[in-house]
Structure 1
Amino acid sequence: MIWQEYSRQLQEVLALDGSPVGVSFSDVPASNGKENRIMPCTAIYQAARKGFTFNICAENCTCPGGLTSLGLSIPTPEKAALTKKFLIEGEKFISCNASFFRMRSLSQGQPPFGVSKYVVIGPLETFELKPDLVLFLCNPGQASRLVLLSTYETGIPLKAQLSGSTCSGAITQPLSKGRVNVTFIDPSSRHLVKGFKDSDLIFSVPFFNVRSIIESIPLSTAGTAQPGMGYKEIIKD
């Protein structure tokens, strides 16, 4: 499958610590997917660094916020109130009810309620289903190359929404807006998923943009191309 070949190229060119991660919204589970109880941010980490695939659904997603962000369950008023209380008094990520309202109302992405029964998350190199998104668990240097490769063909600047939960930034935003997004991995995810490095971030790309990245690799110095000019030719003493 073409995305599995893409995975090998991207892993080699970017020197990734692990695999790019495929995300697919599907009404059927992947045959190689685990169905144990898990948080979406844990699934992303284990897909990238451990090589596991997960079939996440309403019954096995253990994170209430993740259930909503992935569109697997519409929260009841009671659950919504508890989430608000947790963000303000538990995690202390926002200051008050008004801040919570603004965070929700001004968010650029909308959860994909009713889109599918399963959200399949797994390493792209063994991914069975055509992915909707490709996620890169990478460092800032690798992300800077992905920014250039993502814009090489079009020249259109990237627009990212950096606030919000890890699964919202990595999955909800790029899925609903159809464009690249970056998340720095929220502090709760970093606390609960011990394997994340301080230097890790998640660069998320809609699958329909991945072909352009692949085709840009041999053409751009962000990929494998050699410079056509030296810095000394343009930098004056």
Structure 2
Amino acid sequence: MIWQEYAKQLKEVLSLEGSPVGVAFSDLPSSNGKDSKVYACSAFYQAARKGITFNVSAETSPCPGGTTSLGLAAPSPERAAAVKKFLIEGEKFSSCNASFFRSRALSQAQPPIGVSKYVVIGPLEQFEFKPDLVLFLCNPAQASRLVTLSTYETGIPLQAQLSGSTCGGSIAYPLSTGRANVSFLDNSSRHLVKGFKESDLIFSAPYFMVRSIVESIPLCTAGTAQPGMGFNEVMNK
């Protein structure tokens, strides 16, 4: 499958530690996926660094925020109130009710509620389904190359949403906007998933954009192309 070949090429060119991660919204589980309980942010890490595929459903997602960001269930009023209280008084990510409201009202990350029964998350080189999104657990230098490769063909600047949850920035935002995004991994994700490095972040993009990224690799110096002229030649003119 072509996306599996993309995975091998991207891993080699970017020198990734682990694999690009495929994400597919499906009404059927993947035959090689685990059905165990898993936090979305942990599934991203384990897919990238340990090669594990997960069939995430409303029954196996223990995080209320992750369940919503993946579109697996709409929060009840009681659950929404509990999450708000936790974000203000527990995680202390919002200063007050008004701050919490603005963070939700102004966000472009619209949860894909009801889109599918499962969100399949796994290493791209083993992915059974055509992915809807591809995530890269990478360092800033690798993310910089991905940003350049993703804009090489079109010239359209990246419009990222850097605040918010890891799952919202990595899944809900690129899915609902059709744009690539960068997530710095929120503090809760870094606390829950001990394997994350301080230098880790997630670049995520719709699959149709990944095709453009791969096609740009031999043409762009963020890929494998050699410069057409040196800095000295430009600066001396």
Q: Same fold (TM over 0.5)?
A: yes
Q: Deviations over 1:162-190 (max 9, x none)?
A: 11100000000000101101100000000
Alignment correspondent of 2:228: 228
Q: Deviations over 1:30-53 (max 9, x none)?
A: 000000011000000000000000
Gap runs ≥5 in structure 1:
none
Gap runs ≥5 in structure 2:
none
Quote the sequence identity (%). 75
Amino acid at match of 1:105: A
CA RMSD of aligned residues (A): 0.8
Matching of residues 71-86 of structure 1 within 5 Å: 71-86=71-86
The answer to whether residue 17 in structure 2 is matched with residue 38 in structure 1 is no
Alignment correspondent of 1:6: 6
Amino acid at match of 2:37: R
Find the aligned partners of 1:85 and 1:78 in 2 and give their Cα distance.
11
Find the aligned partners of 2:210 and 2:84 in 1 and give their Cα distance.
36
Amino acid at match of 2:30: A
Matching of residues 1-237 of structure 1 within 5 Å: 1-236=1-236
Find the aligned partners of 2:211 and 2:111 in 1 and give their Cα distance.
26
Find the aligned partners of 1:230 and 1:65 in 2 and give their Cα distance.
48
Find the aligned partners of 1:16 and 1:216 in 2 and give their Cα distance.
18
Amino acid at match of 1:54: F
Find the aligned partners of 1:3 and 1:115 in 2 and give their Cα distance.
22
4+ long deviations beyond 4 Å: none
**Distance apart, 1:115 and its partner CA:** 0.3
Q: Please state whether the residue corresponding to 1:103 is helix, strand or coil.
A: helix
**Distance apart, 1:88 and its partner CA:** 0.3
Q: Please state whether the residue corresponding to 1:224 is helix, strand or coil.
A: coil
Find the aligned partners of 1:7 and 1:73 in 2 and give their Cα distance.
30
Find the aligned partners of 1:67 and 1:212 in 2 and give their Cα distance.
30
**Distance apart, 1:125 and its partner CA:** 0.4
Amino acid at match of 1:68: T
**Distance apart, 1:236 and its partner CA:** 3.7
**Distance apart, 1:234 and its partner CA:** 1.2
Q: Deviations over 1:92-113 (max 9, x none)?
A: 0010000011011111121001
Find the aligned partners of 2:108 and 2:189 in 1 and give their Cα distance.
21
Q: Please state whether the residue corresponding to 1:43 is helix, strand or coil.
A: helix
Amino acid at match of 2:229: M
Q: Would you say how many aligned residue pairs link Structure 1 and Structure 2?
A: 237
